[in-house]
């Protein structure tokens, strides 16, 4: 089978590998779609602090497909089932797992980051990681379940109340999912801060009430136009946008730091400034217990996960896309391993 294998910094090779055998409790999945994620880029770039990815691993953790065969002891799935995958497998036995904090599992397995994933024609996946997808959902849409589940965890931590006023910084795929989830959560006003005009236009179409170019407009002006903000969700992951998120937050607001900064980035904060507004600064890590709801939202047609897709590509083009920020700026790429 064709597979995209990580060998080290800037060394991703598309090569032939034997089709894996599903072990006990595993299915063999024919991978139909697999999203290209920022995490894949961090691994490709050899960034310190990115997932601990051993050389020789097949990347790809946002994927969907059809069950091709089942291993011993698989009861819940059968060949032909259409499914998507939660790539984060918890051990269930360590202290964080037993405390209901499974995303801090001390023995986490990451399908597509620590073990072979979905940038291949087939992947062996434990049945515990599978979710059924609706007939009307495309495989490319279903591959977005994992990023949606991460956004849901962030939204849960924001403790939104119906009628709240919110801002999202960054109109990439994640920011545009956040806009839609804020709308579903009952926000009465949503502002999108994004420098690229097409992304602002898309944000307005997907539920934002106002869109600002943060490079051209001052925070004060944005605030005057947006009014008091109860929630600010930062999805750009830059020190400057983190500072901006704190600057525009209203009294008693929650500032959610969702965008991944570099490990050594630092942002100056004046505690007195937080004190005067009773600000709460939060962060969100992966997708604990939110995958089922993400799949339900997608199966129910409640989210647009198609408008922000740039292109569907064959496996052979993956190294080129990982190496080219200008391509990725166009939107989300989906690999079709069977193409
Ligand atoms: Zn991802
Ligand atoms: Zn654990």
Q: Tell how far CA 49 is from the center of its chain.
A: 17
Among the ranges given (93-102, 163-172, 213-222, 283-292), the one the predictor scored with the smallest mean pLDDT: 213-222
What whole-number distance in Å separates Cα of residue 208 and Cα of residue 199? Answer: 11
pLDDT tens track for 37-96: 988 998 999 887 656 799 999 999 999 999 999 999 999 999 999 999 999 999 999 999
Tell me the mean pLDDT in the region 12-19.
Answer: 97
Q: What CA–CA distances, in Å, run from 99 to 90, 93, 94, 180, 206?
A: 12, 10, 9, 31, 37
- State the Rg of the chain over Cα: 20
- For residue 268, report the distance from its CA to the centre of ligand 1, in Å: 28
- For residue 111, report the distance from its CA to the centre of ligand 1, in Å: 11
- For residue 26, report the distance from its CA to the centre of ligand 2, in Å: 19
| Residue-wise DSSP of 119-133 | SBSEEEEEGGGEEE-
- For residue 150, report the distance from its CA to the centre of ligand 1, in Å: 8
- For residue 287, report the distance from its CA to the centre of ligand 2, in Å: 14
Architecture of domain 150-283: 3-Layer(aba) Sandwich (3.40)
What whole-number distance in Å separates Cα of residue 146 and Cα of residue 285? Answer: 13
- Tell me the ligand closest to 260's alpha carbon: 1
| Mean of all residue pLDDT scores within the chain | 95
Tell me the mean pLDDT in the region 168-181.
Answer: 97
Check whether 218 has a pLDDT greater than 90. Answer: no
Q: What residues form DSSP beta bridges with 79?
A: none
C-beta separation of 171 from 192 below 8 A: yes
Q: Which two tokens stand for residue 206?
A: 């997907």
Check whether 6 has a pLDDT greater than 70. Answer: yes
C-beta separation of 34 from 60 below 8 A: yes
- For residue 271, report the distance from its CA to the centre of ligand 1, in Å: 33
Single pTM value for the model: 0.95
Out of 2.40.50.140, 2.30.130.10, 3.90.180.10, 3.40.1500.10, which CATH number does the structure's domain 2-144+305-335 have?
Answer: 3.90.180.10
Among the ranges given (82-86, 125-129, 284-288, 326-330), the one the predictor scored with the smallest mean pLDDT: 326-330
- Tell me the ligand closest to 102's alpha carbon: 2
* Domain map (residue ranges) of the chain: 2-144+305-335, 150-283
The length of the chain, given as a count of residues: 339
C-beta separation of 86 from 287 below 8 A: yes
Q: Which two tokens stand for residue 123?
A: 């992947």
C-beta separation of 166 from 191 below 8 A: yes
* Range list of H helices, the chain: 38-44, 95-98, 139-142, 145-157, 173-184, 197-205, 219-226, 239-248, 271-277, 291-299, 318-323, 325-328
């Amino acid at each position: 089978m064709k597979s995209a294998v990580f060998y080290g910094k800037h060394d991703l090779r598309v090569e032939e590998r034997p089709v894996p055998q599903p072990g006990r409790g595993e299915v063999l999945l024919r991978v139909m779609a697999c999203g290209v994620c920022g995490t894949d880029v961090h691994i490709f770039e050899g960034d310190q602090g990115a997932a601990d990815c051993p050389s020789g691993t097949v990347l790809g953790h946002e994927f969907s497909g059809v069950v091709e065969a089942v291993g011993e002891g698989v009861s819940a799935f059968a060949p032909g089932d259409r499914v998507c995958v939660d790539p984060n497998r918890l051990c269930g036995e360590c202290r964080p797992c037993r405390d209901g904090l499974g995303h801090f599992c001390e023995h986490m397995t990451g399908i597509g980051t620590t073990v072979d994933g979905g940038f291949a024609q087939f992947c062996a996946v434990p049945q515990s990681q599978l979710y059924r997808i609706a007939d009307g959902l495309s495989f490319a849409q279903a591959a977005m379940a994992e990023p949606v589940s991460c956004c849901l965890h962030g939204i849960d931590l924001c403790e939104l109340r119906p009628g709240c006023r919110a801002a999202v910084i960054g109109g990439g795929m994640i920011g545009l999912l956040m806009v839609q989830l804020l709308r579903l959560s009952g926000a009465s006003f949503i502002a999108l801060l994004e420098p690229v005009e097409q992304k602002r236009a898309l944000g307005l179409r997907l539920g934002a009430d106002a869109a600002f170019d943060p490079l051209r407009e001052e925070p004060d002006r944005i605030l005057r136009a947006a009014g008091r903000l109860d929630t600010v969700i930062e999805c750009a992951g830059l020190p400057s946008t983190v500072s901006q998120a704190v600057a525009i937050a209203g009294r008693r607001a929650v500032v959610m730091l969702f965008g991944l900064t570099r490990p050594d980035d630092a942002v100056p904060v004046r505690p007195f400034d937080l004190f005067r507004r009773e600000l709460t600064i939060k962060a969100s890590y992966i997708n604990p217990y939110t995958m089922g709801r993400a799949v339900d939202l997608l199966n129910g047609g409640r989210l647009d996960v198609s408008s922000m897709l740039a292109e569907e590509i064959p496996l052979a083009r993956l190294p080129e896309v990982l190496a080219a920020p200008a391509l990725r700026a166009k939107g989300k790429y989906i690999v079709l391993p069977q193409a």
